[in-house]
């Protein structure tokens, strides 16, 4: 790809590129600081304006741009190309379940029991949260009676309110107080600890969210719950006032329900294969991702001037 085809003649060119005097006729260049660049760019990047005459004499540059997808570590985020029959069977079964959950469409309280809810409530109380009566009303009044797939996982309002995606983003992968990478126990994280059943998952989940110290930006926090912020109604107007007020405990509950439901579904659909498959996917799609990307660039685009 030729730079002369990519960049117009009046383009603003970074100083590091202009410094290659063997590439440019410097006498034709009018060095200045850009007046049109954003302020944060103007403060740190010296730029030049290139005349039409000098642009015609530019050498060819081989430029490679790669928008590398899938920045998250969720092994089931995409339907991957996989030769394993067990993987394809699992993905087909999950799709069929979402289309017609049938007997798997249990009420949430049948998967995340009232006993689990009370344990979560106690943990939230230990964190100093008051007015949990509103959370009780939300759980016992409606949420606990919802069907796990058709009325919870497929309810788009939870996405519009960010009651699952926000806490997942904040707690999916963290560093503990020793600087070690840790993952929230969930089918959609890089956690490779063996989960025997939903009860085992719940014990690990509580320890991660409430009993494991976290290092965030050089500061030690008591647990993963401490990284969760209030979800603003001004930013996500689908929230009502009550949901905004209790958004920290509410998003914690919704995240626990999401992880519990997916754990239950995977144990029902592929009890012996989903965890080995998850570990394999995590290793290949996440742990080896950087090395694979570098290898591809090395093999195919080693002669590139700019990446």
Say if residue 31's pLDDT is above 50: no
Which position has the token pair 């950087």? 290
Report the percent of the chain where pLDDT is more than 90.
62
For the chain, give the percent of residues with pLDDT over 70.
Answer: 80
The residues, any chain, with a CB within 8 Å of residue 98's CB and separated by 6 or more, are: 149, 153, 154
pLDDT of residue 15: 54
Q: Tell me the residue length of the chain.
A: 307
Roughly what angle, to the nearest 10 degrees, separates helices 198-210 and 114-126?
Answer: 10
Whether the predicted pLDDT of 57 surpasses 50: yes
Cβ atoms of residues 93 and 266 within 8 Å: no
pTM: 0.76
Residue 130 class from Cβ within 10 Å (0-12 exposed, 13-18 middle, 19+ buried)? exposed
Residue 19: what pLDDT?
53
């Amino acid at each position: 790809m030729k730079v002369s085809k990519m960049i117009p003649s009046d383009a603003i060119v970074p100083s590091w590129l202009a410094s290659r005097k063997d590439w440019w006729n410097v006498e034709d260049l009018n060095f200045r600081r850009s007046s049109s660049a954003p302020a944060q760019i103007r403060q740190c990047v010296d730029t030049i304006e290139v005349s039409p005459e000098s642009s015609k004499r530019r050498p060819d540059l081989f430029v490679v741009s790669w928008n590398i997808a899938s920045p998250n570590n969720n092994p089931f985020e995409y339907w991957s190309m996989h030769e394993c029959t067990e993987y394809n069977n699992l993905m087909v079964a999950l799709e069929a379940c979402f289309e017609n959950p049938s007997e798997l469409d249990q009420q949430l309280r049948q998967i995340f029991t009232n006993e689990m809810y009370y344990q979560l409530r106690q943990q939230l109380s230990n964190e100093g949260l008051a007015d949990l009566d509103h959370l009780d009303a939300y759980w016992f009044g409606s949420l606990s009676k919802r069907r796990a797939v058709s009325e919870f996982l497929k309810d788009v309002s939870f996405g519009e309110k960010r009651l699952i995606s926000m806490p997942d983003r904040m707690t999916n992968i963290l560093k503990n107080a020793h600087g070690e990478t840790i993952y929230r126990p969930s089918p959609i994280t890089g956690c490779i600890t063996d989960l025997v059943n939903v009860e085992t998952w719940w014990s690990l989940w509580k320890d991660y969210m409430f009993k494991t110290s976290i290092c965030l930006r050089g500061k030690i926090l008591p647990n993963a719950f401490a990284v969760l912020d209030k979800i603003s109604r001004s930013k996500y107007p689908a929230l009502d006032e009550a949901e905004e007020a209790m958004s920290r405990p509410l998003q914690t509950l919704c995240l626990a329900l999401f992880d519990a439901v997916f754990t239950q579904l995977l144990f029902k659909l592929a009890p012996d294969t989903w965890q080995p498959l998850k570990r394999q996917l995590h290793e290949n799609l996440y742990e080896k991702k950087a090395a694979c990307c570098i290898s591809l660039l090395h093999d195919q685009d080693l002669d590139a001037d700019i990446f």
